[in-house]
Each structure stands twice: as structure tokens, then as C-alpha cells.
Structure 1
Amino acid sequence: MIKKETMIIEAINRIALDTVEMVAANPYISKTAIPGQFLHVAIQGHTLRRPISIADIDREKETVTILFKIVGSGTEQLAALSPGMTFNVLGPSGNGFNTANKDKTSVLLIGGGIGVPPLYYLGKTLADIDAEIISILGFQTKANVFYEERFRELGETYIVTDDGSYGKKGFVTDIIETVGQFDSYYTCGPLPMLKAITAMLPGTPGMISLEQRMGCGVGACMACVIPSEEPGGYKKICSDGPVFYAEEVSL
């Protein structure tokens, strides 16, 4: 159930180039959120909220971790907040990843840029049910890389950079054929990356998470629709997604 909630900041740090990690406390969201859901964050002076994926949850400490990239005045304002300050969100929002029946299977996680964060909470959840985790994480440059060690704690991890300044040079799709067998995949990142991955893995069970600016964030305004293969012709990314089965939508 989506609720309007207040988050209390416990820690905030820049962990890569223009990339901020924020840990904030909220009892309701920390106990109810599932991997793939997001927070719709209100920023003072800005009409539209910002959708930010949930990167991690600590149910005992009742905290939620989000990561976001500074790309404009709204995210600059959010990055300027300090521990002890509060901000307002709607959440947990959207539909998350389906992790049922993934115990003791081999799962490939494929993330690009700021699409990496929701895959970390997903990877932790899958690791808890003894799934084998293989991760491919793509970034623009070495300066943009984050959470590498955290993913390595979950399983075999490959880093790819566009310019070759760290890890392998190229794109995440260049690595997929080298990782061996896997039973299913989950991916989040830019649309061209998702298109390439789904085209490369037809017939392999997969789920994709779409990055999208939104209006209302609750499915009322129709500002974030995507063509669907199902009756009705369209899906709302904010409320039907942001996570979909690979064959469910037309990229």
C-alpha cells in the first residue's frame, strides 16, 4: 500500500561521480518494501516528485537506502540535505521483482548506471534463498563505479565501462555470452540497454525495470505509459511497473 511518509536522514555520502547514497529511517517503508519498488520523493519548490529506486532495506534498523545521480536542481537540492533533516515521499511505490521459485537457481543481474541500485536489494533477497548470483554492472567510466564490492559479496561480478578505464571495455551485452549458464535474468538501466538485452535473450525468463520520469506516480495522469503486448495496449510504468516481464511490454 502506497502511503505518504516522512523519511529521517541518517547518513548521506557521495559514493561516485555525481552519485549520492542516502540512508533514511522510516518504519513503514522499511518493513513493507520489496525489491524493485521506488520512492516518489517530494523536493521543496519543485512541482513534480522524483522517482528513486530502493537500493537496500534494513528491517531491524528500520532504514531505507536510496541512490541517485545529481542531474539538475532538484537532485542537487536533495543531495544538499544533512543527517537529521527530513523529506516527504510516497511509497513504497510500484510493482517490484518476482523472486518466487528462484531458490537454488542461477540468476543473472544486469545493471547500467543508476539502474544498478535496485538490483542490489534484489540480489541480497535472492542470495537469502540460496540463488546463485552473477552480476554484470555497466558504467560510463571508472569514476562512475559504485557498489562493486557489495555485489562481489553476493557472487561473481563483472564490471564494464564505456571507455575501458576500469573493468572490461564495452557494453554489458558484450559480457553476457561469457558468463556461462543461468536460469533467468533481471535487468535495469537505459532503454537502449534493455532493448539489446531482451533481443539477445529471447526465450530466457527475464524481468526488466524501466527508468522513467513520472507525473503523479500513482497511475492517474497517464504520463508514463509504455506499449504493451497485453489487452489494452499500454501499461503505466509507475503503477503497473516499473518492473515488467520481458515479454510483457514493447520497448
Structure 2
Amino acid sequence: MIRKVEMEIINMKQIALDTFEMELREEYITKHASPGQFIYISLPGYTLRRPISIADINKEKSVLTVLFKVLGKGTEKLSEFKKGMTLDVIGPNGNGFPVEEMRGETVVLIGGGIGVPPLYYLGKQLKHFGATVISVLGFQSKEHVFYEDAFSQIGETIIVTDDGSYGKKGFVTDILPDLPAFERFYSCGPKGMLKAVTEKLVTHNGYISLEERMGCGIGACSACIIPAKTEQGYKKICQSGPVFKAEEVIL
């Protein structure tokens, strides 16, 4: 059940070029959120809230972690918040990734840029339930890379950069043919990347998470619709997603 709460900022730091990590403390959302869901943050002076994916949760300490990239005035404003301040938040929002049925199976996480964060908590949960996790993470350049060590503690991690300044040069799709056999993939990132991944892995079972601008964030408007293979012809990302079966939507 979604609630409107106040979350205290207990830590805030920059972890890569234009990328910030924020830790928030609050009991309800941290207790009920699942991998792939997001929180909806209100910023002073802005009418629309900002949806931000959940990167990690420590249920024992009631701490939730989000990562965000400064892409405009709203996220720039968010980056100016300090430890000890509070945020007006709605959550947990949306539908997340299925994880429990992958016990004993091999799965691949495929992330691009700011689509990487929600895959971290997912990977931790998959490992907890007994899956073998391989992560393929794509970034623009060395300056944009984050969470490599964190993902490496979950399983094999491959970093790819567009310009080859770190890790392997190219795109995440270039790596996929060389991976060992796996039973499912989970992917989050720019729509172009998701399209390329799903086309490359069309014969595989997979789930994708869409990063999208939203209006209400709870399905009351139609600001975040995506074409889908349903009778209605579309789905609302904030309500039916942000996680979908790879073959469920049209990218």
C-alpha cells in the first residue's frame, strides 16, 4: 500500500560524474518496498514530483538508498539537499521484479547509466534466494562508472564504456553473446538500450524496467503510457510497471 511519508536524509554524496547517492531513513517504505519499485519525491517550488528508483534497502536499519543523475533543474535542486533535511515522499510505487522463483538458476542483470541503480537491490535479493548473478553494466565513460565493487560482491560483473576508457569498449549488447548460459535476464536503462537488449535476447525469458517522466505517479493520468500487446493497446508505466515482461510492451 502506498503512503505519503517524511523521509530523513542521513547521508548524501557524489559517487560519479553528475551522479549522487542519497540514504533516507523511514520505517514504512523500507519495510514494504521490493526490488524494481520507486519512490515519488516532492521538491519545493515544483508541481510535479520526481520518480526515483530504489537502489538498496536495509530493512533492519530502516534505510533506503536512491541514486540520481543531475539532468535538469529538478535533480539539481535535489542534489543540494543536505544530511538532516527531510523529503516529502510517496511510496513504494509501481510493480517490481519477480525474484523468488529463480532459486538455483543463473540470471543476467543488464543496466545502462542511471538504469543501473534498481538492479543492485534486485541482484542482492536474487543472490539471497539462491540465484547465480552475472551483471553487465554500461556507462558513457570512466567518470560515469559507479557501484562496480558493490555489484562484484553479488557475482561476476562486467563493465562496458562507450569510449573504452574503462572496462570493455562498446555497448552492453556486445557482451551478451559471450556470456554463459542463463535462464532469465533483467534490464533497466534508456529505451534504446532496452530495445536492443530485448531484440538480442528475443528467445530468452526476461523483464525490463522503464525509466520515464511521470505526471501523477499513481495511474490517475496518462502521462507515462507505453504501447503494449494488450486489448487496450497501452499500459501506464507508473501503475502497471515500471517492470514489464520483455515481450509485453512495444519499445
**Structure 1 runs (4+) greater than 6 angstroms displaced:** none
Structure 2 counterpart of 1:48, one-letter code: L
Deviation per residue, 1:79-101 (Å, 9 max, x gap)? 11111100111100000001131
Q: 2:118 maps to which residue?
A: 118
Say whether residues 1:150 and 2:150 are aligned partners. yes
CA separation in 2, counterparts of 1:6 and 1:206? Answer: 35
1:1-251 aligned within 5 A: 1-251=1-251
User: 1:129 offset after TM fit, Å?
Assistant: 1.0
Using the size of structure 2 for normalisation, the TM-score is 0.99
CA separation in 1, counterparts of 2:231 and 2:223? Answer: 19
Deviation per residue, 1:93-122 (Å, 9 max, x gap)? 000001131011000000000000000000
- Unpaired runs of 5+ residues, structure 2, are none
RMSD over aligned CA atoms reads 0.6
Structure 2 counterpart of 1:225, one-letter code: I
Name the SS of the counterpart of 1:239 in structure 2.
helix
User: 1:73 offset after TM fit, Å?
Assistant: 1.4
Structure 2 counterpart of 1:127, one-letter code: K
CA separation in 1, counterparts of 2:221 and 2:230? Answer: 20
CA separation in 1, counterparts of 2:28 and 2:79? Answer: 23
Name the SS of the counterpart of 1:154 in structure 2.
coil
- Number of equivalent positions: 251
The answer (yes or no) to whether the contact 2:93–2:238 under 8 Å persists in 1 is yes
The answer (yes or no) to whether the contact 2:116–2:137 under 8 Å persists in 1 is yes
The more displaced of 137-146 and 222-231 is 222-231
- Unpaired runs of 5+ residues, structure 1, are none
User: 1:54 offset after TM fit, Å?
Assistant: 0.1
CA separation in 1, counterparts of 2:185 and 2:227? Answer: 22
CA separation in 1, counterparts of 2:127 and 2:24? Answer: 24
Structure 1 counterpart of 2:37, one-letter code: Q
Using the size of structure 1 for normalisation, the TM-score is 0.99
Structure 1 counterpart of 2:107, one-letter code: V
